[in-house]
Amino acid sequence: MRITFKYRLNPSPAQRAALQRQLDCCRFVYNKALEARKTAYEERQESLSRYDTVTMIPQWKAENEWIKEGHAQAMQEALTRLDLAFRAFFRRVKSGEKETGYPRFRGRGWYDSFTYPQEKSNWRFLDNGRIRLSKIGDVKIVLHRPLEGQCKTLTLRRDRVGNWHACFSCQVETIFLPLTDKVVGVDLGLTTFATMSDGTKINRQRWMRQDAKDIARLQRKKEAFAKGSSQRRKVMRALCHAYERAANRRKNFAHQESRKLVNETQFIAFEKLDIAEMQVTGNKTISRGIADVAWGQFVQFTAYKAANAGRTVTLVNPRGTTQMCSGCREIVPKNLSVRLHDCPHCGLKLNRDHNAALNILALGLQSMGSIPRSSPVNGGE
């Protein structure tokens, strides 16, 4: 299986400039290839392949001397990204999706990474806490944990704040966790982040509220300066820091809780929620709350961890899981203000989220046919 190891880089000012030049070269090649493929289809009804655009790079270098500073394989990887974007676009068109997502030209702030596809000639670790990067130099790297497996690619990524990270994609051996009999259904919510079918709960952490005052202050301060001014750029950087803090807290929470869940549970059932549709409610408070809790991120992290650990994750249709009684299967209507499930048919009384979690578990086990006791079927549905 593939695992990504992410490390912080501490480049010097000259190395930052070199990293930016590589980004600019890759972005230029990406946009030129997109223009060529778009023009070829509009004028000649011809579809260009990745190979066709790769053969155009020498001509672009002859016309633009500055892109000769770009790393050849990194620029070819940029064309691979473009080709994958076109393949995804055609797949969405073929399946009849409304949002087809035609590939877009990338502005200076919308292309933030480039990839070295091979280790030997493009990068290697040094003994002094540095990594030697082709066309960049010897850059300081914070190796907070050792690399595992065989490195396949290295992606150098710049975040919105301007920090650089080295992301190694490594092929490692899959090691399944010991089997366990524990199964659980998970009901995700806004009042409580998650309620399990065994009655345990994960409390909600309100990430954006912790930085809301700071963000609001910076938003007001930003509007006081003219666009493009140095003062506005400083405020924007501080604003990006505030948003990044909230995103990092949210991601760390999702990683920790998903790891606990996978370590303890053999079978996990979630609702298959249409989060984008749920956010179109007209109620800004609810929409912001759904975005803040990041259910999709939690489910995604749990699914890939489960696949790598020999666990099973399944997604079930959420229709009726809240209204149905987990004891007698009768429908007991209730609105959002009713937090207690009180069944008039069988007399079952329990928290509505706990009742929903029990129904989700039952549907999940029903979809599997039986309680799984071996390797996972898949990491999603």
Query: Six-digit token pair at 379?
Result: 């990491």
Q: Is 170 left (phi over 0), alpha (psi -120 to 50) or beta?
A: beta
18-23 — which CB contacts under 8 Å span 24+ positions? 18/135, 18/136, 18/137, 19/136, 19/156, 19/158, 19/164, 21/69, 21/70, 22/69, 22/70, 22/71, 22/74, 22/114, 22/135, 22/136, 22/156, 23/111, 23/112, 23/113, 23/114, 23/158
Average pLDDT over residues 187-214: 85
pLDDT exceeds cutoff 80 at 275: no
CA R_g for the chain: 25
Distance between CA atoms of residues 7 and 290, nearest Å: 30
pLDDT exceeds cutoff 90 at 106: yes
Residue range 221-257, pLDDT digits in tens = 888 888 888 899 899 889 888 888 888 888 899 999 9
Average pLDDT over residues 256-283: 85
**Lowest-pLDDT range of 31-45, 70-84, 144-158, 360-374:** 360-374
Residues 6+ apart with CB under 8 A from 16: 164
Query: Six-digit token pair at 110?
Result: 């919308």
DSSP 202: E
Distance between CA atoms of residues 282 and 192, nearest Å: 22
Confidence grade of residue 282 (pLDDT, cut at 50, 70, 90): low
Distance between CA atoms of residues 254 and 302, nearest Å: 8
Neighbour count for residue 73 (Cβ, 10 Å): 16
DSSP 176: P
What local confidence, expressed as pLDDT, does residue 281 receive?
64
First CA to last CA distance, the chain: 19
Residue range 323-342, pLDDT digits in tens = 888 888 888 888 878 888 88
pLDDT exceeds cutoff 70 at 93: yes
Select the more confidently predicted residue: 370 or 103: 103
Q: What are phi and psi of 57, to 5 degrees?
A: -60, -45
How much is the mean pLDDT over the chain? 88
